[in-house]
């Protein structure tokens, strides 16, 4: 009898690109991948912040480089990715929110959110996949979505629209590239305490709404995302594509 063995949760020899890597979920994702053995390229708009993060990671003997990147500049992003060695793993974590009631939404805020959360993520994912296809390599492409890609939320019509779009494009890309060995999935966090969400947690009514809906009874931490990132990036999830991994404390279950 041949006993099954657990697939590897390691990424030794793999290259990973993480956007939004200077803080929050992006930083946690970069740490998780680097700890699993990947060489990680940290990407964000602020090179100074990235250099600080990279310095601390290198002090832990982790393998990292930095890359200034504004995902909303799709032409520059595509040209940059085309000039680099292929990435085995992508974590699309750059994102933003402009929360207001739907009736108070401005066109400029709508365009800003969609430009990063949808358009930026879309064309970066395409650029990374294109390099893999050119070289005949498999890969794992991970979009940081949200529980709000599956439900609605107070003052979040624009954000929900962007994350529902990310869920749709992920499924379509997974179908298109599956036979090429390129997997595409999303991670869907609940409210995670980061600099981006601090303003929401500072509002008592919003905090009460959040705590009421998270069935595990606590808000999320960036560490809650790290295992999910490693799972989807590695051979441990070799048959997983076009899926949404909920890390939402049970929010959408209700």
Kindly give, in sequence order, each residue whose CB lies less than 8 Å from that of residue 8, ignoring residues fewer than 6 positions away.
234, 235, 236
The residues facing 39 across adjacent strands are 15
Active-site pick, 122, 159, 177, 231 = 159
The angle subtended at Cα 15 by Cα 14 and Cα 17, nearest 5°, is 145
**113: buried, middle or exposed (CB in 10 Å: 19+, 13-18, 0-12)?**
buried
Active site residue 159: yes
The angle subtended at Cα 81 by Cα 141 and Cα 222, nearest 5°, is 45
Task: Give the whole-angstrom CA distance, residue 45 versus residue 172.
Answer: 28
**Which residues form the catalytic set?**
159
């Amino acid at each position: 009898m041949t006993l099954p063995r657990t697939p590897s949760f390691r990424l030794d020899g793999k290259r990973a690109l993480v956007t939004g890597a200077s803080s929050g979920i992006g930083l946690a994702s970069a740490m998780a991948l680097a700890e699993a053995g990947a060489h990680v390229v940290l990407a964000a708009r602020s090179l100074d912040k990235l250099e600080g993060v990279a310095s601390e990671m290198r002090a832990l003997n982790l393998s990292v480089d930095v890359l200034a990147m504004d995902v909303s500049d799709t032409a520059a992003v595509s040209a940059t990715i085309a000039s680099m060695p292929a990435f085995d793993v992508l974590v699309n974590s750059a994102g933003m929110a402009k929360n207001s009631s739907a009736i108070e939404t401005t066109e400029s805020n709508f365009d800003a959110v969609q430009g990063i959360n949808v358009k930026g993520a879309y064309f970066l994912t395409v650029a990374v996949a294109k390099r893999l296809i050119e070289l005949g390599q498999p890969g794992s492409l991970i979009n940081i979505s949200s529980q709000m890609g599956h439900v609605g939320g107070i003052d979040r019509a624009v954000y929900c629209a962007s994350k529902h779009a990310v869920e749709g494009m992920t499924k379509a890309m997974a179908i298109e590239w599956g036979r090429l060995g390129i997997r595409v999935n999303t991670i869907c966090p609940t409210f995670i305490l980061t600099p981006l969400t601090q303003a929401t947690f500072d509002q008592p009514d919003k905090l009460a709404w959040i705590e009421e809906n998270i069935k595990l009874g606590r808000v999320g931490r960036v560490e809650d995302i790290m295992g999910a990132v490693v799972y989807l990036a590695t051979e441990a999830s070799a048959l997983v594509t076009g899926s949404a991994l909920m890390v939402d404390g049970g929010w959408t279950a209700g």
